Amino acid sequence: MKPIQVQEHRFPSFDETEIAYHAAGEGAPILLCNGLGGSWMAWKHQIRYFQEQHRFLSWDYRGLYRSGPPPSLDAMTVEDQCRDALAVLDHAGEESAILFGWSMGVQVALELIRTHPERVRGLVLINGVAGHPWKTVMNIGLMGDLLPPVIRGIGSVPRIAEALTRRVVAMPEAVGWAKRVGLAARTLDEDIFHELAASFSDLDMKRYMRTLELLGEHDASSILTEIDVPTLFIAGDRDLFTPRAAMEKMARNVPGAELMVVPGGTHYVAVEFPELVNLRIEKLLRERGLAA
């Protein structure tokens, strides 16, 4: 299989925030809406599998990874991320795209189809919810009240959070620990995990936690019953952050939506069971008229 060749582009978005985006492959466009836990690298298995039929576009959220900081900490809402996504499509010369969303990216993708449905050809939504994500963590509704003040508290001491994060991601036993406590499956691609973990060491935790805080305030649930493009939900039955029940409920509200639940999958199902995930996505693309 061909190696991935990635090109990085930079441009000023709608409010002059410098956005870094990456392009790989050729063909019908797929826009990758990332999770907060990483960049395009989290999608390596999908890019490698589909790159001869599809052009992948992936951008780093404002203020994180290789994108520049926004004008203020309040300019990091899901709506702002959505406007950056549209700017990426414009800069790349693409009128519309299939959206792949993972975790936070599910909310960004749903916000994009809510505001600009004409630019979305299909949806593949992995390990995410439509909104207010803290209310579904571990299927404990009380988390919706407990987590926001914790997130704000961590954001108020960014230097301590950054030092602790660098220490944790540098620990060689971190992957084994994550597997033992059920945060990741034993089949997790450890090379990709280490790449994503390494990128955390340079994060501005004040911006990161503010993005997380604003994510918790967003809700795109109202669009679910109006979605009229081919839609596939992929869930892991051991996902503590986005429990299976939450994704099943979303799938029931989207007309004609398809759902795959991966046995043993956690919040990182795309890098735990990539062959299974890729084949299921390929089936959707072929059967629903989205294949290149």
Distance CA 258, CA 101 (A): 15
Give the model's confidence band at 283: pLDDT under 50 very low, under 70 low, under 90 confident, else very high: very high
Kind of pairing between the strands at 97-102 and 54-59 = unpaired
**Least confident segment among 100-114, 149-163, 221-235, 256-270:** 149-163
Percent residues over pLDDT 90 in the chain: 72
Kind of pairing between the strands at 18-25 and 7-12 = antiparallel
Packing angle of the helix pair 143-155, 205-217 (nearest 10 deg): 160
139 pLDDT higher than 80: no
pLDDT in the model for residue 172: 67
Give the model's confidence band at 141: pLDDT under 50 very low, under 70 low, under 90 confident, else very high: low
pLDDT in the model for residue 200: 75
Model pLDDT for residues 79-103, shown as the tens digit of each residue: 999 999 999 999 999 999 999 999 9
Give the model's confidence band at 72: pLDDT under 50 very low, under 70 low, under 90 confident, else very high: very high
Distance CA 42, CA 189 (A): 10
Whether 274 contacts 45, CB under 8 Å: yes
pLDDT in the model for residue 170: 65
Distance CA 30, CA 39 (A): 15
Mean pLDDT of 15-31: 98
290 pLDDT higher than 70: yes
pLDDT in the model for residue 169: 63
Whether 179 contacts 188, CB under 8 Å: yes
Which comes out higher in pLDDT, residue 149 or 162? 149
Domain range 7-287, CATH architecture: 3-Layer(aba) Sandwich (3.40)
Give the model's confidence band at 151: pLDDT under 50 very low, under 70 low, under 90 confident, else very high: confident
Neighbour tally for 237: CB within 10 Å = 14
Q: What CA–CA distances, in Å, run from 231 to 3, 129, 176?
A: 29, 14, 34
